[in-house]
Amino acid sequence: MKSDRCDFLVIGSGISGLYFALKAAEYGKVIIITKDNSLSGSTRFAQGGVAVSIGEGDSPEKHMKDTLNAGAGLCDEKSVEILVNDGIERIHDLLNMGILFTKDELGNLDLGMEGGHSDKRIIHFLDQTGKNIQNFLLEKIAKNNNIKLMENQMAVDLITEHHMNRNNREKIENCYGIYALDTKTNEICTILANFTLIATGGAGRVYPFSTNPSECTGDGVAMAYRAGCNIRNLEFIQFHPTVLYFDSDPAFLLSEAIRGEGAKLINKQGEYFMKNYHPMEELAPRDIVARSIDSELKKHGDKFVYLDCRSIGQQKMADRFPYIYETLKSKYHLDAAQDLIPVVPAAHYLCGGVLTDYNGLTNIKYLYAAGETASTGVHGANRLASNSLLESLVFSYRAVQDIVHRYDAKRNDRDAFGKIPPWNNKETVHVQEWGIINHLRREIQDIMWDYIGIVRSKPRLDRALKIMDIIQEDVNDYYQRARLTREILELRNIILCARLIIRSCLERDESRGLHFLLEAPEHREDSRMDTIILPESIE
């Protein structure tokens, strides 16, 4: 079996992993793995931009206040303070590295407005900010001899003491790297690392309708939980309010920045309805806008509402949102300057994740998490628009700094690496029942959509967990006897994430932010009572 060795292992090639890799490469050899190509992940789909308080009259204090308001009383204030202050430094670092962002007619960074923000503070590259950042970082990485990027490699499991002694199911303290599956050949290799960063993104594909690309199957959260990590606040799944109502995969997102430029939501009865739900109307936080649309759909029995962009005008739509405008015209035959655009909410962002400290360190030594995989405490019960890319930059950088200052970028237990066994696939067979595996995946997604959507109820959550427990048994059976493939691994991760989400929902008996419970619709007073799921055993 093949094996590799590095100082820093990065699982994922989105903004968190790439920025971490560039900074870590100053201290040692880095390997990045990604289960598709280098452009995998959700980063490239981030249209709006990066929220940072650099505009005249704006301040980190204002940005912090907006973030706390959106988080519905559940944000970790220290984490948010780190975000809004360190974020300015990280943006200046990107600018000094040579990245391009859209500028206004005076040559200053063009600042957009999005929901929940009190000032214009969204820096962007037209309407393809994430893609621009990812391409920029990949160009830098391609020129760095200390970084090796391996495509079509999917992490199977994190390597811990459990793999050296299968009877050890209690004392898990250290991470030594991963077992990785080559998704082209289905061969499994060992990648050993002094330090490992999980940056695999979210779990949008736990749902059937999502803005996330197909690779976002909750791999990092599931893998970390199996290894022994604590998981926090998975009940908070953000549904993006304005996703095009067309059969596309992933769902085509219409950036919140469009509403920031004046677009309005209108129901099929012709009423601009957001004024009935919140004083900020279309620029209310995402949880409120998504629930408002859901309410309108249920009230009238409709399948979608409309986004009315006509007041923005053809020229501004084409100049400010060229990708969205041209895609709507060429692919969907809709002119946003003249036509009403049918939209619905869709699963978008995981606000909880692997519990970390303020530097991205998990409760397992030498194991870090960043980006959407991690729960840093920044987002609370609802993420403020365009805080995600900033969080990725801030906390992946802090992870590198923590490794340098806490560990001097070195390990003291290097003799343990020689005890790690190769992957054992004896007594496994090639499974041909792909139809059943795909059926199980669709069944999980349908249950999540019907039972754990924008509005939830205790009886439906109880019922969903019982069904998921039965499906888990089938999935475990396939995993134990089958030669591993990407499809089996993703199914294994999806069912575990689904069960963790439902368990988290059942733990919170109040409505807060993105978790709206029919039995408790009132909003409770501010609370730092997180939902923590502790690992029960090695699954």
SS3 call for 195: strand
In this predicted structure, which of 56-70, 195-209, 339-353, 422-436 has the lowest mean pLDDT? 422-436
393 contacts 19 by C-beta, under 8 angstroms: yes
**Per DSSP, what are the bridge partners of residue 190?**
3, 179
Q: What is the pTM of this model?
A: 0.93
The DSSP element (H or E) to which 155 belongs, if any, is strand 153-159
Which domains are seen in the chain, by residue range? 3-235+351-419 (3.50.50.60), 243-345 (3.90.700.10), 434-533 (1.20.58.100)
- pLDDT in the model for residue 537: 47
489 contacts 220 by C-beta, under 8 angstroms: no
Rounded mean pLDDT, 266-278: 96
Q: How far is CA 429 from CA 1, 58, 361, in A?
A: 18, 61, 37
Query: Binning pLDDT at 50, 70 and 90, where does residue 168 land?
Result: low
- pLDDT in the model for residue 268: 95
pLDDT in tens, 225-249: 999 999 999 999 999 999 999 878 8
- Is 90 exceeded by the pLDDT of residue 10? yes
The residues, ordered by sequence, that sit 6+ positions from 382 with a Cβ below 8 Å of its Cβ are: 70, 71, 72, 236, 238, 285, 286, 287, 351, 513, 514
362 contacts 220 by C-beta, under 8 angstroms: no
Rounded mean pLDDT, 378-402: 97
d(CA 192, CA 107): 47
> Taking Cα atoms as reference points, which of 164, 177, 507, 175 lies closest to residue 362?
175
More confidently predicted of 364 and 527: 364
In this predicted structure, which of 90-99, 147-156, 387-396, 481-490 has the lowest mean pLDDT? 481-490
Q: At 144, which amino acid appears?
A: N
Strand order in the sheet with 353-355: 374-375, 353-355, 231-232, 532-533
Mean of the per-residue pLDDT values for the chain?
A: 93
Q: Which residues are catalytic?
A: 286
**Per DSSP, what are the bridge partners of residue 179?**
157, 190
SS3 content of the chain, % helix, strand, coil (to 5): 40, 20, 40
In this predicted structure, which of 161-175, 383-397, 466-480 has the lowest mean pLDDT? 161-175
SS (H, E, C) 358-399: CCCECCCECEEECHHHEECCCCCCCCCCCCHHHHHHHHHHHH
- Is 80 exceeded by the pLDDT of residue 377? yes
- pLDDT in the model for residue 166: 66
- pLDDT in the model for residue 536: 74
Extended strands (E) in 363-501: 367-369, 374-375, 455-456
- pLDDT in the model for residue 539: 44
More confidently predicted of 370 and 2: 370
> How many percent of the chain have pLDDT more than 90?
85
Rounded mean pLDDT, 114-121: 94
> How many percent of the chain have pLDDT more than 70?
96
Pairing outcome for strands 188-198 and 3-11? parallel
